[in-house]
Amino acid sequence: MDIKVAKFGGSSVADAMQVKKVGEIIAADPARKFIVVSAPGKRFPDDSKMTDLLYLCKTHIEHNVPFHQVFQVIWDRFKIMIMNLGIDLDIDPYFVEIRSMLENGATNDYIASRGEFLSAIVVSKYLGFDFVDPKDYVKFDENGKFLAEETNTALGEELKKHKNAVIPGFYGALPDGSIKTFSRGGSDITGAIVARAVGASVYENWTDVSGFLMADPRIVPNAKPISRVTYKELRELSYMGASVLHDEAIFPVKEANIPINIRNTNEPEHPGTMIVEEPDPEVSDEVITGISGHKGFTVIHVYKDNMNSEVGFVKRVLAILENYDISFEHLPSGIDTVSIVIATQKLEGILGDLLDDIQKKINPDTLEVHANLALIATVGCGMNRKKGVAATLFNSLYQADVNIRMIDQGSGEMNIIVGVEDEDFEKAIKAIYDTFVVEKALKDKN
Ligand code: ASP
Protein backbone atom coordinates (compact mmCIF):
# COMPACT_ATOMS: atom_id res chain seq x y z
CA MET A 1 0.00 0.00 0.00
CA ASP A 2 1.15 3.52 -0.84
CA ILE A 3 2.93 5.26 2.05
CA LYS A 4 3.90 8.90 2.02
CA VAL A 5 6.13 10.58 4.57
CA ALA A 6 5.35 14.23 5.23
CA LYS A 7 7.81 16.45 7.04
CA PHE A 8 6.55 19.80 8.30
CA GLY A 9 9.07 22.59 8.90
CA GLY A 10 9.08 25.16 11.69
CA SER A 11 6.74 27.65 10.02
CA SER A 12 4.20 24.85 9.36
CA VAL A 13 3.93 24.12 13.10
CA ALA A 14 4.56 27.64 14.41
CA ASP A 15 1.15 27.98 16.08
CA ALA A 16 -2.31 26.39 16.32
CA MET A 17 -3.50 27.94 13.07
CA GLN A 18 -0.60 26.37 11.19
CA VAL A 19 -1.04 22.98 12.90
CA LYS A 20 -4.68 23.01 11.80
CA LYS A 21 -3.48 23.40 8.19
CA VAL A 22 -1.21 20.39 8.78
CA GLY A 23 -4.28 18.47 9.97
CA GLU A 24 -6.14 19.32 6.75
CA ILE A 25 -3.21 18.26 4.59
CA ILE A 26 -2.97 14.91 6.41
CA ALA A 27 -6.73 14.36 6.21
CA ALA A 28 -6.68 15.03 2.47
CA ASP A 29 -4.53 11.96 1.73
CA PRO A 30 -4.67 8.78 3.86
CA ALA A 31 -1.31 7.68 2.38
CA ARG A 32 0.34 10.35 4.57
CA LYS A 33 0.93 7.95 7.44
CA PHE A 34 4.26 9.06 8.89
CA ILE A 35 4.76 12.66 9.87
CA VAL A 36 8.02 14.31 10.91
CA VAL A 37 7.92 17.70 12.58
CA SER A 38 10.33 20.51 13.33
CA ALA A 39 10.17 22.68 16.41
CA PRO A 40 7.76 25.61 16.10
CA GLY A 41 9.39 28.33 14.00
CA LYS A 42 8.66 32.01 13.56
CA ARG A 43 5.02 33.15 13.51
CA PHE A 44 5.98 36.57 12.12
CA PRO A 45 9.29 37.99 10.83
CA ASP A 46 10.60 39.31 14.17
CA ASP A 47 9.51 36.25 16.16
CA SER A 48 11.98 33.75 17.68
CA LYS A 49 12.35 30.15 16.61
CA MET A 50 11.76 27.71 19.45
CA THR A 51 15.15 26.06 18.90
CA ASP A 52 16.89 29.41 19.29
CA LEU A 53 15.03 30.08 22.55
CA LEU A 54 16.06 26.67 23.84
CA TYR A 55 19.72 27.31 23.01
CA LEU A 56 19.29 30.66 24.76
CA CYS A 57 18.22 28.91 27.99
CA LYS A 58 21.41 26.91 27.89
CA THR A 59 23.52 30.04 27.26
CA HIS A 60 21.93 31.70 30.30
CA ILE A 61 22.90 28.73 32.44
CA GLU A 62 26.46 28.73 31.12
CA HIS A 63 26.78 32.39 32.14
CA ASN A 64 25.15 31.85 35.52
CA VAL A 65 22.17 34.00 34.58
CA PRO A 66 18.66 32.80 35.54
CA PHE A 67 17.05 31.11 32.54
CA HIS A 68 13.50 30.83 33.89
CA GLN A 69 12.07 33.82 32.07
CA VAL A 70 13.07 32.52 28.64
CA PHE A 71 11.94 29.06 29.64
CA GLN A 72 8.53 30.43 30.59
CA VAL A 73 8.15 32.04 27.15
CA ILE A 74 8.58 28.58 25.57
CA TRP A 75 6.22 26.97 28.04
CA ASP A 76 3.54 29.62 27.46
CA ARG A 77 3.82 29.31 23.70
CA PHE A 78 3.05 25.60 23.88
CA LYS A 79 0.21 26.15 26.34
CA ILE A 80 -1.43 28.69 24.04
CA MET A 81 -1.00 26.37 21.07
CA ILE A 82 -2.64 23.48 22.93
CA MET A 83 -5.49 25.69 24.10
CA ASN A 84 -6.15 27.01 20.59
CA LEU A 85 -6.05 23.50 19.16
CA GLY A 86 -8.63 22.47 21.75
CA ILE A 87 -6.86 19.23 22.66
CA ASP A 88 -6.83 17.51 25.99
CA LEU A 89 -3.11 17.43 26.71
CA ASP A 90 -1.27 18.27 29.93
CA ILE A 91 2.11 19.53 28.75
CA ASP A 92 3.28 20.66 32.23
CA PRO A 93 4.94 17.38 33.34
CA TYR A 94 7.18 17.48 30.24
CA PHE A 95 8.25 21.04 31.06
CA VAL A 96 8.92 20.18 34.71
CA GLU A 97 11.17 17.35 33.58
CA ILE A 98 13.01 19.49 30.99
CA ARG A 99 13.54 22.24 33.56
CA SER A 100 15.03 19.83 36.03
CA MET A 101 17.29 18.38 33.32
CA LEU A 102 18.45 21.92 32.53
CA GLU A 103 19.15 22.63 36.19
CA ASN A 104 21.19 19.47 36.36
CA GLY A 105 23.56 20.11 33.47
CA ALA A 106 21.66 18.82 30.41
CA THR A 107 23.70 19.00 27.21
CA ASN A 108 23.22 21.51 24.41
CA ASP A 109 21.93 18.73 22.15
CA TYR A 110 19.39 17.56 24.69
CA ILE A 111 17.94 20.99 25.24
CA ALA A 112 17.92 21.88 21.51
CA SER A 113 16.04 18.69 20.70
CA ARG A 114 13.15 19.45 23.06
CA GLY A 115 11.48 21.78 20.54
CA GLU A 116 10.95 18.88 18.12
CA PHE A 117 10.04 16.53 20.97
CA LEU A 118 7.27 18.79 22.31
CA SER A 119 6.08 19.72 18.84
CA ALA A 120 5.62 16.03 17.98
CA ILE A 121 3.79 15.38 21.27
CA VAL A 122 1.29 18.13 20.42
CA VAL A 123 0.87 17.22 16.73
CA SER A 124 0.48 13.50 17.45
CA LYS A 125 -2.23 14.27 19.98
CA TYR A 126 -4.00 16.62 17.56
CA LEU A 127 -3.90 14.11 14.69
CA GLY A 128 -4.61 11.09 16.88
CA PHE A 129 -1.40 9.42 15.62
CA ASP A 130 1.13 7.45 17.70
CA PHE A 131 4.21 9.25 18.99
CA VAL A 132 7.54 7.57 18.17
CA ASP A 133 10.66 8.94 19.89
CA PRO A 134 13.68 8.81 17.54
CA LYS A 135 16.08 8.55 20.49
CA ASP A 136 15.59 4.80 20.40
CA TYR A 137 15.95 4.35 16.62
CA VAL A 138 17.98 7.16 15.04
CA LYS A 139 21.49 6.08 15.93
CA PHE A 140 24.88 7.78 16.10
CA ASP A 141 28.23 6.20 17.03
CA GLU A 142 30.26 7.38 20.05
CA ASN A 143 31.98 10.02 17.86
CA GLY A 144 28.64 11.46 16.81
CA LYS A 145 28.71 9.96 13.30
CA PHE A 146 25.24 9.10 12.01
CA LEU A 147 24.75 5.33 11.54
CA ALA A 148 22.60 5.11 8.41
CA GLU A 149 22.17 1.35 8.11
CA GLU A 150 21.61 0.59 11.82
CA THR A 151 19.06 3.39 11.89
CA ASN A 152 17.29 2.18 8.78
CA THR A 153 16.85 -1.31 10.22
CA ALA A 154 15.81 -0.23 13.71
CA LEU A 155 13.43 2.49 12.55
CA GLY A 156 11.94 0.31 9.80
CA GLU A 157 11.15 -2.44 12.29
CA GLU A 158 9.60 -0.06 14.79
CA LEU A 159 7.46 1.84 12.29
CA LYS A 160 6.01 -1.41 10.95
CA LYS A 161 4.21 -1.67 14.29
CA HIS A 162 2.38 1.63 13.77
CA LYS A 163 -0.48 2.38 11.43
CA ASN A 164 0.53 6.01 11.55
CA ALA A 165 2.89 8.06 13.70
CA VAL A 166 4.42 11.45 14.36
CA ILE A 167 8.20 11.48 14.81
CA PRO A 168 10.19 14.47 16.07
CA GLY A 169 12.86 15.58 13.60
CA PHE A 170 16.41 16.75 14.25
CA TYR A 171 17.71 14.21 16.79
CA GLY A 172 18.59 10.67 17.72
CA ALA A 173 20.93 9.26 20.35
CA LEU A 174 24.52 8.19 20.96
CA PRO A 175 25.23 4.57 22.06
CA ASP A 176 25.01 5.62 25.74
CA GLY A 177 21.46 6.90 25.15
CA SER A 178 22.27 10.59 25.36
CA ILE A 179 20.59 12.84 22.81
CA LYS A 180 22.49 13.83 19.68
CA THR A 181 21.17 16.34 17.14
CA PHE A 182 21.94 16.75 13.45
CA SER A 183 23.20 20.15 12.31
CA ARG A 184 20.72 23.05 12.15
CA GLY A 185 17.76 22.41 9.88
CA GLY A 186 18.28 18.70 10.48
CA SER A 187 14.60 17.72 10.65
CA ASP A 188 14.81 17.49 6.87
CA ILE A 189 17.32 14.68 7.35
CA THR A 190 15.03 12.85 9.77
CA GLY A 191 12.21 13.09 7.22
CA ALA A 192 14.42 11.50 4.58
CA ILE A 193 15.54 8.76 6.98
CA VAL A 194 11.93 7.93 7.85
CA ALA A 195 10.94 7.89 4.16
CA ARG A 196 13.69 5.37 3.44
CA ALA A 197 12.88 3.25 6.52
CA VAL A 198 9.21 2.81 5.56
CA GLY A 199 9.84 2.54 1.80
CA ALA A 200 7.74 5.62 1.04
CA SER A 201 6.58 6.37 -2.50
CA VAL A 202 7.39 10.04 -1.93
CA TYR A 203 9.01 12.18 0.72
CA GLU A 204 6.93 15.35 1.03
CA ASN A 205 8.78 18.25 2.56
CA TRP A 206 6.22 20.87 3.59
CA THR A 207 7.57 24.36 4.11
CA ASP A 208 6.53 27.96 3.42
CA VAL A 209 7.47 28.21 -0.25
CA SER A 210 5.92 26.39 -3.20
CA GLY A 211 9.14 24.69 -4.22
CA PHE A 212 12.33 26.02 -5.73
CA LEU A 213 12.50 28.98 -8.04
CA MET A 214 14.78 29.18 -11.05
CA ALA A 215 16.60 32.14 -9.50
CA ASP A 216 16.67 34.07 -6.25
CA PRO A 217 13.43 36.16 -6.24
CA ARG A 218 15.27 39.04 -4.58
CA ILE A 219 17.24 39.33 -7.81
CA VAL A 220 14.68 38.08 -10.34
CA PRO A 221 11.30 39.11 -8.89
CA ASN A 222 9.12 36.86 -11.06
CA ALA A 223 11.43 33.87 -11.21
CA LYS A 224 9.59 30.80 -12.48
CA PRO A 225 9.12 27.81 -10.17
CA ILE A 226 11.09 24.64 -10.91
CA SER A 227 8.62 21.80 -11.30
CA ARG A 228 11.23 19.05 -11.58
CA VAL A 229 14.90 18.89 -10.69
CA THR A 230 17.31 15.97 -10.34
CA TYR A 231 19.18 15.28 -7.10
CA LYS A 232 22.43 16.08 -8.88
CA GLU A 233 21.22 19.41 -10.23
CA LEU A 234 19.94 20.33 -6.83
CA ARG A 235 23.30 19.59 -5.23
CA GLU A 236 24.90 21.97 -7.70
CA LEU A 237 22.26 24.62 -7.04
CA SER A 238 22.11 24.33 -3.27
CA TYR A 239 25.85 24.12 -2.87
CA MET A 240 26.16 27.56 -4.32
CA GLY A 241 23.52 29.34 -2.29
CA ALA A 242 20.98 29.17 0.47
CA SER A 243 18.66 26.25 0.05
CA VAL A 244 15.17 25.29 1.05
CA LEU A 245 16.26 21.78 1.94
CA HIS A 246 19.13 20.61 4.17
CA ASP A 247 21.94 19.36 1.89
CA GLU A 248 22.27 16.04 3.70
CA ALA A 249 18.57 15.24 3.39
CA ILE A 250 19.10 14.11 -0.17
CA PHE A 251 21.30 11.09 0.56
CA PRO A 252 18.92 8.68 2.35
CA VAL A 253 16.13 9.07 -0.21
CA LYS A 254 18.42 9.15 -3.22
CA GLU A 255 19.79 5.81 -2.14
CA ALA A 256 16.27 4.36 -2.04
CA ASN A 257 15.18 6.18 -5.21
CA ILE A 258 12.39 8.03 -3.43
CA PRO A 259 11.45 11.40 -4.94
CA ILE A 260 11.25 14.46 -2.70
CA ASN A 261 8.36 16.83 -3.18
CA ILE A 262 8.80 20.34 -1.79
CA ARG A 263 5.34 21.69 -0.90
CA ASN A 264 3.84 24.77 0.72
CA THR A 265 1.65 24.35 3.82
CA ASN A 266 0.09 27.73 3.05
CA GLU A 267 -0.69 26.84 -0.57
CA PRO A 268 -1.37 23.09 -0.47
CA GLU A 269 -2.94 22.93 -3.94
CA HIS A 270 0.37 23.96 -5.57
CA PRO A 271 2.29 20.90 -6.85
CA GLY A 272 5.64 22.34 -5.72
CA THR A 273 8.98 20.97 -6.90
CA MET A 274 9.68 17.28 -7.49
CA ILE A 275 13.26 16.18 -6.88
CA VAL A 276 13.97 13.00 -8.81
CA GLU A 277 16.84 10.70 -9.74
CA GLU A 278 16.58 10.89 -13.53
CA PRO A 279 15.71 13.82 -15.79
CA ASP A 280 12.59 13.33 -17.86
CA PRO A 281 13.08 14.74 -21.37
CA GLU A 282 9.36 14.27 -22.06
CA VAL A 283 8.44 16.63 -19.29
CA SER A 284 10.86 19.44 -19.94
CA ASP A 285 12.84 20.80 -22.83
CA GLU A 286 14.34 23.54 -20.69
CA VAL A 287 18.06 23.86 -21.25
CA ILE A 288 18.64 25.16 -17.78
CA THR A 289 16.97 24.19 -14.55
CA GLY A 290 18.16 27.03 -12.37
CA ILE A 291 20.73 29.68 -11.62
CA SER A 292 22.31 30.18 -8.22
CA GLY A 293 25.33 31.85 -6.85
CA HIS A 294 27.16 33.51 -4.04
CA LYS A 295 29.31 36.55 -3.45
CA GLY A 296 32.42 36.71 -1.33
CA PHE A 297 35.12 34.54 -2.85
CA THR A 298 38.85 35.14 -3.16
CA VAL A 299 41.10 33.71 -5.86
CA ILE A 300 44.75 32.96 -5.29
CA HIS A 301 46.57 32.71 -8.63
CA VAL A 302 49.83 30.77 -8.56
CA TYR A 303 52.06 31.08 -11.66
CA LYS A 304 55.18 29.08 -12.28
CA ASP A 305 56.97 28.42 -15.54
CA ASN A 306 56.94 24.75 -16.47
CA MET A 307 54.46 23.97 -13.76
CA ASN A 308 52.96 21.28 -15.96
CA SER A 309 56.18 19.25 -15.89
CA GLU A 310 56.70 19.51 -12.13
CA VAL A 311 55.34 16.35 -10.51
CA GLY A 312 53.24 16.95 -7.39
CA PHE A 313 53.02 20.74 -7.74
CA VAL A 314 49.29 21.05 -7.10
CA LYS A 315 49.50 18.47 -4.34
CA ARG A 316 52.03 20.63 -2.50
CA VAL A 317 49.84 23.72 -2.87
CA LEU A 318 46.82 21.84 -1.55
CA ALA A 319 48.81 20.38 1.34
CA ILE A 320 49.44 23.94 2.53
CA LEU A 321 45.69 24.63 2.44
CA GLU A 322 45.12 21.44 4.39
CA ASN A 323 47.54 22.63 7.07
CA TYR A 324 45.34 25.67 7.51
CA ASP A 325 42.22 23.51 7.49
CA ILE A 326 40.85 25.38 4.48
CA SER A 327 38.65 23.79 1.84
CA PHE A 328 38.38 25.32 -1.63
CA GLU A 329 35.46 25.70 -4.07
CA HIS A 330 37.19 25.48 -7.44
CA LEU A 331 40.60 24.86 -8.88
CA PRO A 332 40.78 26.03 -12.49
CA SER A 333 44.23 25.52 -13.98
CA GLY A 334 46.33 26.33 -17.04
CA ILE A 335 49.69 25.09 -18.31
CA ASP A 336 51.71 27.23 -15.93
CA THR A 337 49.01 28.41 -13.55
CA VAL A 338 46.65 27.15 -10.96
CA SER A 339 43.99 29.30 -9.35
CA ILE A 340 42.39 28.44 -6.06
CA VAL A 341 38.94 29.84 -5.34
CA ILE A 342 38.18 30.03 -1.63
CA ALA A 343 35.32 31.57 0.36
CA THR A 344 36.77 34.85 1.66
CA GLN A 345 35.36 34.19 5.12
CA LYS A 346 37.62 31.15 5.49
CA LEU A 347 40.70 33.31 4.87
CA GLU A 348 39.97 35.91 7.52
CA GLY A 349 43.01 36.51 9.70
CA ILE A 350 45.17 33.91 7.97
CA LEU A 351 45.55 35.07 4.37
CA GLY A 352 48.94 36.72 4.99
CA ASP A 353 50.42 33.63 6.65
CA LEU A 354 48.98 31.38 3.97
CA LEU A 355 50.57 33.42 1.17
CA ASP A 356 53.92 33.50 3.00
CA ASP A 357 53.79 29.73 3.26
CA ILE A 358 52.95 29.24 -0.41
CA GLN A 359 55.78 31.62 -1.35
CA LYS A 360 58.28 29.80 0.85
CA LYS A 361 57.33 26.21 0.06
CA ILE A 362 56.32 26.46 -3.61
CA ASN A 363 58.47 29.33 -4.77
CA PRO A 364 56.11 30.44 -7.57
CA ASP A 365 57.16 33.03 -10.15
CA THR A 366 54.20 35.16 -9.14
CA LEU A 367 51.46 34.91 -6.59
CA GLU A 368 48.40 37.12 -6.95
CA VAL A 369 45.26 37.53 -4.91
CA HIS A 370 41.93 38.85 -6.18
CA ALA A 371 39.11 39.38 -3.72
CA ASN A 372 35.44 40.23 -4.33
CA LEU A 373 34.67 37.40 -6.69
CA ALA A 374 31.11 36.13 -7.02
CA LEU A 375 30.41 32.65 -8.38
CA ILE A 376 27.34 31.90 -10.45
CA ALA A 377 26.30 28.38 -11.40
CA THR A 378 23.97 27.91 -14.35
CA VAL A 379 22.69 24.38 -13.91
CA GLY A 380 20.72 22.04 -16.14
CA CYS A 381 21.24 18.43 -17.10
CA GLY A 382 19.65 19.29 -20.47
CA MET A 383 22.72 21.32 -21.46
CA ASN A 384 24.98 18.41 -22.30
CA ARG A 385 22.70 17.47 -25.21
CA LYS A 386 22.49 21.00 -26.59
CA LYS A 387 24.97 23.03 -28.63
CA GLY A 388 25.73 26.66 -27.95
CA VAL A 389 24.77 26.83 -24.27
CA ALA A 390 28.14 28.21 -23.21
CA ALA A 391 28.19 30.59 -26.18
CA THR A 392 24.73 31.90 -25.30
CA LEU A 393 25.68 32.30 -21.65
CA PHE A 394 28.89 34.20 -22.34
CA ASN A 395 27.20 36.35 -24.94
CA SER A 396 24.45 37.31 -22.51
CA LEU A 397 27.08 38.43 -20.00
CA TYR A 398 28.94 40.35 -22.70
CA GLN A 399 25.71 42.12 -23.71
CA ALA A 400 25.09 43.02 -20.08
CA ASP A 401 28.61 44.46 -19.85
CA VAL A 402 29.74 41.93 -17.26
CA ASN A 403 33.39 40.95 -17.20
CA ILE A 404 33.88 37.20 -16.68
CA ARG A 405 36.88 36.57 -14.44
CA MET A 406 36.73 32.80 -14.23
CA ILE A 407 35.04 29.93 -16.07
CA ASP A 408 34.67 26.38 -14.86
CA GLN A 409 32.49 23.57 -16.09
CA GLY A 410 31.70 20.75 -13.70
CA SER A 411 32.75 17.37 -15.02
CA GLY A 412 29.11 16.20 -15.09
CA GLU A 413 28.56 18.72 -17.92
CA MET A 414 25.44 19.98 -16.28
CA ASN A 415 26.67 23.28 -14.99
CA ILE A 416 28.75 26.20 -16.10
CA ILE A 417 30.26 28.25 -13.35
CA VAL A 418 31.41 31.77 -13.96
CA GLY A 419 33.24 34.09 -11.61
CA VAL A 420 32.35 37.79 -11.85
CA GLU A 421 33.01 40.87 -9.74
CA ASP A 422 30.83 40.96 -6.62
CA GLU A 423 29.28 44.19 -7.87
CA ASP A 424 28.20 42.52 -11.14
CA PHE A 425 26.54 39.58 -9.37
CA GLU A 426 22.89 40.64 -9.59
CA LYS A 427 23.28 42.04 -13.10
CA ALA A 428 24.84 38.78 -14.30
CA ILE A 429 22.11 36.58 -12.81
CA LYS A 430 19.40 38.75 -14.38
CA ALA A 431 21.13 38.61 -17.76
CA ILE A 432 21.43 34.81 -17.68
CA TYR A 433 17.82 34.42 -16.57
CA ASP A 434 16.54 36.77 -19.26
CA THR A 435 18.42 34.95 -21.97
CA PHE A 436 17.62 31.38 -21.02
CA VAL A 437 14.15 31.78 -19.58
CA VAL A 438 12.43 35.00 -20.67
CA GLU A 439 13.73 35.17 -24.25
CA LYS A 440 13.33 31.44 -24.74
CA ALA A 441 9.69 31.62 -23.62
CA LEU A 442 9.08 34.46 -26.07
CA LYS A 443 10.70 32.49 -28.91
CA ASP A 444 8.66 29.40 -28.06
CA LYS A 445 5.50 31.48 -28.19
CA ASN A 446 6.22 32.90 -31.66
N1 ASP B 1 14.65 23.04 14.84
C2 ASP B 1 15.91 22.80 14.22
C3 ASP B 1 16.52 24.10 13.73
O4 ASP B 1 15.96 25.16 13.92
C5 ASP B 1 15.85 21.74 13.18
C6 ASP B 1 14.84 21.97 12.09
O7 ASP B 1 13.94 22.77 12.20
O8 ASP B 1 14.97 21.32 11.05
O9 ASP B 1 17.59 24.09 13.17
168 CB near ligand 1 (under 6 Å): no
What is the full per-residue pLDDT of the chain (446 aa) written as tens digits?
799 999 999 999 999 999 999 999 999 999 999 999 999 999 999 999 999 999 999 999 999 999 999 999 999 999 999 999 999 999 999 999 999 999 999 999 999 999 999 999 999 999 999 999 999 999 999 999 999 999 999 999 999 999 999 999 999 999 999 999 999 999 999 999 999 999 999 999 999 999 999 999 899 999 999 999 998 888 888 766 656 888 888 889 998 999 999 999 999 999 999 999 887 766 566 789 999 999 999 999 999 998 888 889 999 999 999 999 999 988 988 889 999 999 999 999 999 999 999 999 999 999 999 999 999 999 998 887 788 899 999 999 999 999 999 998 877 778 899 999 999 999 999 999 999 998 877 777 77
Q: What is the pTM of this model?
A: 0.84
Single-letter amino acid code for the residue at 417: I
> Does residue 327 sit in the same domain as residue 202?
no
> Which residue CA neighbors atom 8 of ligand 1 most closely?
185
Q: How far is the CA of 391 from the centre of ligand 1 (A)?
A: 42
Instruction: State the total domains in the chain.
Output: 2
Residue 12 near ligand 1, beta carbon < 6 Å: no
User: Does residue 284 lie within any of the structural domains?
Assistant: no
**Same-domain pairing of 334 and 270:** no
Q: Are residues 352 and 249 in the same domain?
A: no
Closest CA to 52 of 249, 207, 184: 184
Q: At what angle do helices 389-399 and 425-433 cross, to 10 degrees?
A: 130
Measure 128 CA to ligand 1 centroid, in angstroms. Answer: 24
Per DSSP, helices labelled H in 35-127 are 50-62, 68-85, 92-103, 108-127
- Looking at the fold, whether 338 and 408 belong to one and the same domain comes out as yes
- Total count of residues recorded for the chain: 446
Give the whole-angstrom CA distance, residue 355 versus residue 316. Answer: 13
Q: In terms of domains, do 34 and 151 share one?
A: yes
Domain that holds residue 62: 4-276
Last residue of a domain, one of 247, 276, 305: 276
- Cα(412) to centroid(ligand 1), Å: 32
Of 227, 242, 276, the residue at which a domain comes to its end is 276
One domain, residues 180 and 304: no
* Domain final residue, candidates 276, 302, 321: 276
172 & 89 share domain: yes
- Both 255 and 333 in one domain: the answer is no
Q: Is 10 in the pocket of ligand 1 (CB under 6 A)?
A: yes
One domain, residues 89 and 234: yes
**281 found inside a domain:** no
Domain shared by 33 and 181, yes or no: yes
Indicate if the alpha-carbon torsion angle 360, 361, 363, 367 is positive or negative: negative
Please identify, by atom number, the ligand 1 atom nearest to the C-alpha of residue 188: 8
CATH code of the domain covering residue 402: 3.30.2130.10
Phi, psi of 347 (to 5 degrees): -100, -5
- Asked if residue 180 belongs to a domain, the reply is yes
Asked if residue 66 is part of any domain, the answer here is yes
What CATH number is attached to the domain comprising 167? 3.40.1160.10
